[in-house]
Amino acid sequence: MWRTLALASALFPGLFAFCIRLLRWAAPGWSLKDRILLSGRLVSTVQATMATVSGIIVVLNCKDVVHDRHWLAVEYIWVLVPYMTYDIYVMYLCHWHKSRDKGIAEKKHSLASIRSFLLQERLMVTHHLFILIVLTPITQHFRGELGDFFVGCIFTAELSTPFVSLGKILMQLKMQDTLLHKVNGILILVTFFLCRILLFPFMYAAYARQAGIPVYLVPFRIPMHCNIANASLIAPQLYWFRLICRKAAQLYGSSPAHKSR
């Protein structure tokens, strides 16, 4: 636990700092804000890939979805804790630089800039804090030695993140009108829907198959806090999926003539 926490606490900020330094050499004309934005997205992609691979390994190795154990289901949580903490800080840093460029934020960090960040990114911050404050104790202590399979399923929800990050990177590079951006948009829709929306029915169906009961009875057979946790996780995913669909409709629905106006 402590070794994993220490390594992860050094890995993500260190990789973030390395990317900023590398971009200063590779793209000397870029502003600090641009380097911070791109570096944050690259680190997010790295973490999402690690989480997805860990989740797939856990899911494939837990045949009994209730009782089978895998060390990654426990250990990777201690990677997520420092990452989520780091990511909140990077989100604030990105928000502050964007606001300063628009002339909204002050030249120095202040309580006002923190308050502005918390208001604008309240859903994402709440999501991160929920993972840190609620899900971490549940997955590490309250569930006992049960449900590594379901923890692995939650890890695989990160599959869509690299595509989301790539989409933002392409927009940052002014490549939003390219075929790559459109193909990536389709991949965002598919992976987000599969791994952040259908993931929850899949978990309930897996338990139903294990217990030999109809799927509709699962919510009444599992502990109430599991249903509450799942509802708390899927609610923001549905909201974000609606936003993604809206952006996709704008991307694919507008004609070239309309875009050129």
Whether the pLDDT of residue 112 is over 70: the answer is yes
Q: What is the pLDDT of residue 110?
A: 77
* Average pLDDT along the chain: 88
Q: What is the pLDDT of residue 47?
A: 95
Please check whether residue 169 is in contact with residue 36, taking contact to mean a CB–CB distance below 8 angstroms: no
Quote the pTM value: 0.86
Question: How many angstroms separate the CA atoms of 109 and 115, rounded?
Answer: 11
| 32-62 pLDDT, tens digit each | 889 999 999 999 999 999 999 999 999 999 9
DSSP class per residue in 136-200: HHIIIIITTT--HHHHHHHHHGGGGHHHHHHHHHHHHTT-TTSHHHHHHHHHHHHHHIIIIITHH
Please check whether residue 230 is in contact with residue 218, taking contact to mean a CB–CB distance below 8 angstroms: no
| 130-140 pLDDT, tens digit each | 888 888 887 88
Q: Tokens 């704008």 map to which residue?
A: 250
Q: For residue 31, how many other CB atoms are within 10 A of its CB?
A: 11
